Structure 1
Amino acid sequence: MSATQQAEDVKETATTGVKLTDAAAAKVKALIEQEGEEGLRLRVEVSPGGCSGLRYGLYFDTDNREGDVVQSYEGFEVVVDRMSVPYLMGANIDFADRIDAQGFTIDNPNAQGSCACGDSFH
């Protein structure tokens, strides 16, 4: 990877605010390939709801919305809507596949608290 490509990757990561671990990126890529739909991307968003006021959404779609911020990974893209970017700045998405934990997790330095349901923050 050239220095220019590395600089572009850093800029894109800083713009979307979201970073995927290697494990999460590998799982997203595998799931997209399994679906086999052209143009499928991982959308990450923050929406109203949950007992603390906001909750995360992670899902695959092909929509292009005005103001979407797109980050390219090897083999797929991550999309964040412009309203969610400030809430996700510095967030890390990981994937665990262990006996005690399975699925995607979000470590977000912007979350000042959470509640028992585990999918919301304020």
Structure 2
Amino acid sequence: MTVQTDATTQGVTLTDAAVEKVKSLLAQEGRDDLRLRLGVAPGGCSGLRYQLYFDERQLDGDIVTDHNGVELVVDRYSMPYLTGATIDFVDTIEKQGFTIDNPSAQSSCACGDSFH
């Protein structure tokens, strides 16, 4: 496991809104041993699908960065697909939830669930 404190070395950024939402969710769960894990896996109509979830595991090759007290974990396989990505949290009438803006994605499906 590689631990980095400078979020820019990983290439994935969490917005302030995302950091606050993650902290709020962890506080609700009463857990301080979880990290936010971002990865990609084969699937969806465009070839790759994002995975974003809380995880307590530490896997060999994980890259961990600290974002104002929130640890973000990305596995070695997923990192090349996520360089420059930004995780945000939106809460509007039209949409609520985490979003991933990934400039490395060449295209995405109409539903926004997968990318290529």
Shared topology, TM-score over 0.5?
yes
Match of residue 21 from structure 1: 15
Q: Given the two structures, how large is their TM-score scaled by the length of structure 1?
A: 0.86
Within 5 A, what are the aligned runs for 1:55-74? 55-74=49-68
Q: Is the 8 A contact 2:86 2:102 kept in 1?
A: yes
Work out the CA distance in 2 between the residues paired with 1:14 and 1:72: 10
Q: For 1:111, what is the secondary structure of its paired residue? A: coil
Within-5 A mapping of 1:1-122: 9=5, 12-122=6-116
Structure with greater helix share of residues:
1
What is the CA-CA distance between 1:33 and the residue it aligns to?
Answer: 1.4
The answer to whether the 8 Å contact 2:36/2:54 transfers is yes
Gaps of 5+ in 1: 1-7
Partner Cα separation in structure 1 for residue 13 and residue 71 of structure 2: 12
**1:41/1:77 contact within 8 Å kept:** yes
TM-score (norm 2): 0.91
CA contact (8 A) 1:17 1:86 kept: no
Q: Is the 8 A contact 2:34 2:54 kept in 1?
A: yes
Gaps of 5+ in 2: none
* 1:39 Cα offset (Å): 1.0
Q: In structure 2, what is the Cα distance between the partners aligned to 1:119 and 1:79? A: 20
Q: How many residues align?
A: 113
